[in-house]
C-alpha cells in the first residue's frame, strides 16, 4: 500500500536520493576526487597561455575550477534542487570570478610571470599529480561504497530469508475448504502478510493484512502484526465464532499504536472458516472480497467500510457472516494488484480481477492465482507488494 506522506525511508529511490543518503564522513572522498579532477583545467589554461602564470596564480585558478566541480556535488547531495539554476547562472560569471581572484593573488604576493618552459613543466607536472590523485580518490570512494552496498545487500538477503519464513506460500486443504495464499513483494522485503491459523476445534482463521508503505520498515511491522494476531487467536475457540475477527481487530488496534510509526497503519481482510462450512468475515479499510457463486455462475463483491487498524482509537470493529455454498470461491487481492496502472494511468481495478476469475473459477487455486498475478503484471509495472488469498468452499463429505 503506497502513501503520499511517507517518511524518507519509505519513498522510492530517485536519481539523486542515493547521493543524498551518503553521510559526509564518506562523501568528502568524492568531493576530493572531483576537486582534483577538475583542478586540471586550471593548469591546462596555464599551458594554453604558454605557462607564464605565476605559480600562486596557477594554483589559485586550479583550486577555483576544482571547487566549482565540488560545489555541484554538494548542491545535488545536500541542497534542494531549486539551487541548481543559481549554480548554472554562476557558470556564466565563473571566468570573471577566476580572473578577479587571480589578479588579487598576483597583486597581494607581488607575483611575477615565470619563464614559459618552467611554467609549462610545472603545470604539466601538477596535471599528472592531480589526475593520479583523483583516480586514487575515486577508487577509494568506489571501494568504500561497494563495501557499504555489499553489507546492505547481505542484510537485505537476510531480511528476504526472514520474509520467506514469515510469509511463505500457503496451500491448505481441509474437508470443507481449500486455501491458497501468496505474497510477492515489490522489493526484497515487503509489508503484506497472508496467514492461516488452525484452531483446536478444526476451524481455520485466514487473513490478509497490508501494511502501509513497503520495504524493510513495513516488513518489520508485518512481523509484529503476525505475532500479535497469532497471540490474540490462541483463545479463539472459547468465544462466539462471529466475534473472533472483530475481537482480533480490536486487539490489534489496541496493541499496534505502541509499536509503529504514527503514520503507519494496516488494512485487513479475514475469514473464520468453520469445520461445519460456515464463513465469517471482517474487513478493515481493505478492498472488497470477490465472491464467485458457483451455483449461479456469477460474481458479487462483499465490502464493509471500516477504519484501518492502528491509525485511530476506534471503539469497535464489526464482522458479518457470508452465505457460502459448495464450490463457491472467495478472492482477496491487495492494492498492489488492483492499483497497477497502465501507461495512460488507468488502474487494473476490481472489474479486470473479476474477468480473470470468471475465465476459470474452477481452476486449481495456484493456477488461478498465477493467472491473476500475470494479468496484473502484463497490465502495468509492479510498484507495491502483490498479495492474494483464495478460499474455495468444498462440498461436505457424504
What digits encode the pLDDT tens for the residues 111-142? 889 999 999 999 999 999 999 999 999 999 99
Distances (CA, A) of 152 to 12, 17, 189: 17, 16, 13
For the cut 90, the answer to whether the pLDDT of residue 77 exceeds it is no
For the cut 80, the answer to whether the pLDDT of residue 79 exceeds it is no
For the cut 60, the answer to whether the pLDDT of residue 241 exceeds it is yes
**All domains in the chain, ordered by first residue:** 8-160 (no CATH), 167-393 (3.60.40.10)
CA 99 to the chain's CA centroid: 48
pLDDT digits (tens, 9 = 90+) for 197-225: 999 889 999 999 998 876 777 888 888 89
Average pLDDT across the chain, whole number: 88
List CB contacts of 193: < 8 A, sequence separation 6 or more. Answer: 166, 167, 183, 207, 208, 209, 210, 211, 222, 225, 226, 387
What percent of the chain clears pLDDT 70, i.e. is strictly above it?
Answer: 92
Phi and psi for 40 in degrees, rounded to 5? -60, -45
374 near 184, Cβ under 8 Å? no
**171's grid cell:** 496451500
Residue keyed to cell 478460499: 391
Question: Quick one: pLDDT band at residue 383, thresholds 50, 70, 90?
Answer: confident
For the cut 90, the answer to whether the pLDDT of residue 324 exceeds it is yes
Q: Which residues of 20-34 are buried (b: 16+ CB within 10 A; e: fewer)?
A: eebeeeebebbbbbb
pTM, rounded to two decimals: 0.69
Amino acid at each position: 500500500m503506497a502513501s503520499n506522506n511517507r517518511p524518507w525511508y519509505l519513498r522510492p529511490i530517485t536519481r539523486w536520493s542515493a547521493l543524498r543518503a551518503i553521510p559526509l564522513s564518506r562523501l568528502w572522498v568524492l568531493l576530493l576526487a572531483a576537486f582534483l579532477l577538475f583542478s586540471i583545467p586550471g593548469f591546462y589554461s596555464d599551458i594554453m597561455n604558454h605557462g607564464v602564470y605565476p605559480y600562486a596564480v596557477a594554483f589559485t585558478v586550479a583550486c577555483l575550477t576544482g571547487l566549482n566541480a565540488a560545489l555541484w556535488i554538494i548542491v545535488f547531495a545536500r541542497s534542494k534542487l531549486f539551487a541548481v539554476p543559481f549554480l548554472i547562472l554562476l557558470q556564466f560569471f565563473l571566468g570573471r570570478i577566476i580572473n578577479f581572484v587571480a589578479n588579487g593573488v598576483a597583486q597581494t604576493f607581488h607575483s611575477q610571470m615565470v619563464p614559459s618552459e618552467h611554467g609549462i613543466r610545472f603545470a604539466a607536472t601538477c596535471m599528472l599529480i592531480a589526475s593520479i590523485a583523483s583516480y586514487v580518490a575515486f577508487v577509494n570512494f568506489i571501494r568504500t561504497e561497494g563495501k557499504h552496498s555489499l553489507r546492505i545487500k547481505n542484510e537485505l538477503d537476510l531480511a528476504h530469508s526472514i520474509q520467506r519464513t514469515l510469509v511463505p506460500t500457503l496451500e491448505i486443504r481441509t474437508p470443507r475448504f481449500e486455501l491458497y495464499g501468496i505474497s510477492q513483494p515489490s522489493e526484497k522485503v515487503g509489508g503484506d502478510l497472508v496467514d492461516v491459523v488452525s484452531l483446536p476445534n478444526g476451524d481455520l482463521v485466514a487473513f490478509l493484512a497490508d501494511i502501509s508503505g513497503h520495504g524493510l520498515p513495513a516488513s518489520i511491522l508485518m512481523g509484529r502484526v503476525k505475532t500479535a494476531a497469532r497471540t490474540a487467536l490462541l483463545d479463539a475457540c472459547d468465544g462466539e465464532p462471529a466475534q473472533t475477527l472483530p475481537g482480533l481487530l480490536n486487539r490489534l488496534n489496541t496493541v499496534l499504536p505502541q509499536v509503529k510509526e504514527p503514520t503507519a497503519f494496516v488494512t485487513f481482510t479475514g475469514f473464520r472458516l468453520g469445520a461445519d462450512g460456515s464463513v465469517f468475515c471482517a474487513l478493515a479499510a481493505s478492498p472488497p472480497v470477490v465472491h464467485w457463486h458457483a451455483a449461479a455462475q456469477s460474481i458479487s463483491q462483499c465490502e464493509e467500510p471500516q477504519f484501518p487498524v492502528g491509525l485511530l482509537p476506534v471503539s469497535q470493529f464489526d464482522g458479518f457472516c457470508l452465505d457460502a455454498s459448495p464450490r463457491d470461491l472467495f478472492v482477496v487481492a491487495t492494492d498492489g494488484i488492483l492499483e497497477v496502472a497502465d501507461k495512460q494511468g488507468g488502474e487494473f481495478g476490481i472489474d479486470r480481477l473479476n474477468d480473470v476469475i470468471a475465465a476459470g473459477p474452477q481452476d486449481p487455486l495456484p493456477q488461478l492465482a498465477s493467472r491473476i498475478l500475470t494479468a496484473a503484471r502484463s497490465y502495468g509495472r509492479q510498484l507495491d507488494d502483490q498479495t492474494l488469498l483464495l478460499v474455495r468452499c468444498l462440498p461436505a463429505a457424504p
